[in-house]
Amino acid sequence: MPTRTLAELAKTIRSKNAGTDRITFDVIFPSRDVYEHVKRSGAVTRETVAALFRVPDERIVDFVTFDPAYAIKFTLARSAPSGSPGEGDIFGCQQYPPLLDIVVPAP
């Protein structure tokens, strides 16, 4: 398997509100093999998420690999509550694009 992006490997990549103060992200894979490969690769970790979204580690309130769903899930604390003046994404649904271009090394 050549090097591929997360967008090429995942079945679903999404973000959404998790209350007024948090945004949750889901990266769901089509099979156990693909999920395990991405998980083992280290391409998507708490550290890579912090760097990618330019947030300190303490803003990542959850980061889990969820084996039954072949998913990597994480939640970020918002810098301002949803709907606050100047806040640009009330529903949190436009925050996932930085994940699309993560490069996953070949096995």
Structural domain includes residue 42:
yes
Domain count, the chain: 1
61: containing domain: 4-98
Classify residue 107: in a domain, yes or no: no
Q: Of 39, 24, 28, which Cα lies nearest the Cα of 70?
A: 28
10-63 pLDDT, tens digit each:
999 999 999 899 999 999 999 999 999 999 999 999 999 999 999 999 999 999
Give me the mean pLDDT over the 64-85 stretch.
Answer: 94
Determine how β-strand 103-104 pairs with β-strand 60-66.
unpaired
44 and 53 Cβ atoms separated by less than 8 Å: no
Phi then psi for 79, rounded to 5 degrees?
A: -75, -20
Phi, psi of 12 (to 5 degrees): -140, 135
Whole-angstrom Cα distance, residue 81 to residue 65? 26
Look up the pTM and report it: 0.92
pLDDT at position 53, please? Answer: 96
For 32-47, what is each residue's pLDDT tens digit? 999 999 999 999 999 9
CATH number at residue 60: 3.30.70
